[in-house]
């Protein structure tokens, strides 16, 4: 017997219906992540169909200095190799953003290692100049660095494609950010394009006790009041008389 009182009936408020519909989600902000598993795959749908990818399962660390302190939450990265799939006739190389995605991620997880991928050059909008490692750089130097990055990534791609476990256990910093998808839904995900080897100046890690946020009460209330979520309870006799219904 339960030590708690067992209710005779169940009723659900409009707010409770909305709470069931709306998911809990990870809090916005910076985390240190560890890759728990990795595998090679080929995209099967959408614009990336046919593209070669590494599928990485990532967990946030409660203690950024302890690789064994991973929390139960998971985020998934699809790292798309900027190369045509040689097994598919007529396949085209994916868009240029895939190069930047891979460069940013690999630079973060290989920092200080023998196979380190150097950081890409970039344009500093505030100072209105191109930079490499925080120093002014010419367009030619930025292009040379990009080639250097591509050569370093090539070696990792070849090794990791044979042994995807190359990625398992690597750690990096990255934020959870929010974006609005094509259907107008707000989604929170690990932002690969902001991956770093070290926590950026001024950034703070999300407290492990606050990794998960419940749905915003104001959003729940607003949706509940406009959705007509509360429905009339079904007639038990009619439900039982339907084909397949319980007797």
pLDDT for the residue numbered 134: 86
Structural contact between residues 55 and 74, judged by C-beta atoms closer than 8 angstroms? no
Residue 73 lies in a domain: yes
Instruction: Tell me the C-alpha to C-alpha distance, in Å, between residue 72 and each of 29, 174, 239.
Output: 17, 17, 40
β-partners of residue 34 are 59, 171
User: Which pTM does this prediction carry?
Assistant: 0.77
Residue 30 lies in a domain: yes
pLDDT for the residue numbered 246: 46
Residue 11 lies in a domain: no
Instruction: List, in order, residues 6 or more apart from 8 with CB less than 8 Å away.
Output: none
Domain span including residue 183? 21-218
Residue 76 lies in a domain: yes
Residue 7 lies in a domain: no
pLDDT for the residue numbered 247: 45
pLDDT for the residue numbered 181: 79
CA atoms within 13 A on the CB side of 121: 18
The closest alpha carbon to 19, from 217, 156, 207, belongs to 217
Residue 169 lies in a domain: yes
Residue 44 lies in a domain: yes
In the chain, which residue ranges form alpha helices assigned H by DSSP?
Answer: 14-21, 97-110, 139-162, 217-227, 236-241
Residue 4 lies in a domain: no
Q: How far apart are CA 37 and CA 240, in angstroms?
A: 47
Q: How far apart are CA 88 and CA 83, in angstroms?
A: 12
pLDDT for the residue numbered 53: 97
What stretches in the chain show pLDDT beneath 50? 229-230, 232-233, 239, 241-242, 246-247
Number of independent structural domains in the chain: 1
């Amino acid at each position: 017997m339960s030590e708690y009182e067992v209710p005779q009936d169940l009723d659900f408020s409009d707010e409770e219906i909305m709470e069931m519909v709306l998911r809990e989600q990870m809090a916005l902000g910076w985390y240190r992540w560890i890759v728990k598993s990795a595998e090679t795959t080929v995209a099967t749908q959408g614009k990336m169909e046919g593209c070669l990818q590494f599928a990485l399962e990532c967990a946030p660390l409660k203690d950024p200095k302890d690789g064994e302190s991973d929390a139960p939450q998971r985020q998934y990265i699809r790292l798309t190799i900027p190369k045509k799939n040689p097994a598919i006739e007529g396949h085209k190389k994916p868009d240029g953003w895939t190069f930047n995605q891979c460069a940013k991620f690999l630079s973060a997880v290989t920092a200080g290692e023998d196979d380190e991928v150097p950081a890409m050059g970039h344009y500093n909008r505030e100072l209105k100049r191109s930079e490499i490692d925080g120093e002014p750089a010419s367009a030619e130097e930025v292009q040379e660095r990009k080639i250097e990055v591509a050569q370093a990534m090539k070696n990792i791609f070849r090794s990791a494609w044979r042994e995807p476990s190359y990625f398992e256990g690597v750690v990096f910093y990255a934020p959870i950010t929010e974006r609005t998808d094509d259907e107008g839904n707000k989604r929170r995900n690990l932002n690969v394009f902001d991956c770093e080897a070290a926590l950026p100046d001024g950034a703070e890690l999300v407290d492990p006790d606050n990794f998960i946020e419940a749905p915003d009460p104001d959003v729940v209330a607003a949706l509940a009041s406009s959705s007509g979520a509360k429905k009339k309870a079904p007639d038990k006799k009619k439900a039982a008389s339907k084909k397949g219904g319980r007797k």
